[in-house]
Amino acid sequence: MGHWLMKSEPDEFSIDDLARAKQQTTPWFGVRSYQARNFMRDEMQLGDRALFYHSSCPEPGVAGIVEVSRLAYPDASQFDPKSPYYDAKSTRAAPRWLNVDVKFVRKTRLIPLAELRETPGLEDMVTLRRGNRLSITPVTPAEWRIVEKLAGA
């Protein structure tokens, strides 16, 4: 099983929104980074787990755990001219952008970014590297275990 960290702005879609969603599942849409798209397309597998990370908010951090419940498929928002994620260069015959579906596993206590940065064993975690802005990043098994302990799992 692979492990990931997936960022979402809580004012757009939070872990609580996912917990309330139909079947507690949602498409992880709006990713507009080729590297993050490639992670979804090439590496994510059904059953992979991800840390649901609240970003661009007063206190960013890990807020829950989700599971990949559907493999990569075209992100419909790229075709909608009214969407902020519209891409005029993307076509249905050759879509540029993909999403996976994720399913709610559990909410955790919020593990703030500052606490993640101070935790031994997470020094090399991709999302904690200065300048990293990717919305999806891999998490090593050792890092996963550390964050689960922080979350009280």
Give pLDDT, residue 48. Answer: 98
Buried b / exposed e over 69-107, threshold 16 CB at 10 Å, is beebeebebbbeeeeebebeebeeeeeebbbbbbbbbeb
Closest among 135, 141, 68 to 105, alpha carbons compared: 68
Dmax (CA) of the chain: 47
Strands 49-54 and 61-74: antiparallel
pLDDT in tens, 65-81: 999 999 999 999 999 99
The domains of the chain, with CATH numbers, are: 3-151 (3.10.590.10)
Question: Across the chain, what does the average pLDDT equal?
Answer: 96
Q: Tell me the residue type at 112.
A: P
Higher pLDDT: 132 or 59? It is 59
C-alpha pair distances (Å), 29 with each of 1, 40, 67, 150: 22, 11, 15, 28
Which residues face 68 on adjacent strands? 102
Residue 131: its pLDDT value, please? 84
The model's pTM? 0.95
pLDDT at 50 over 80: yes
85's tokens: 């994620």
pLDDT at residue 153 is higher than 70: no
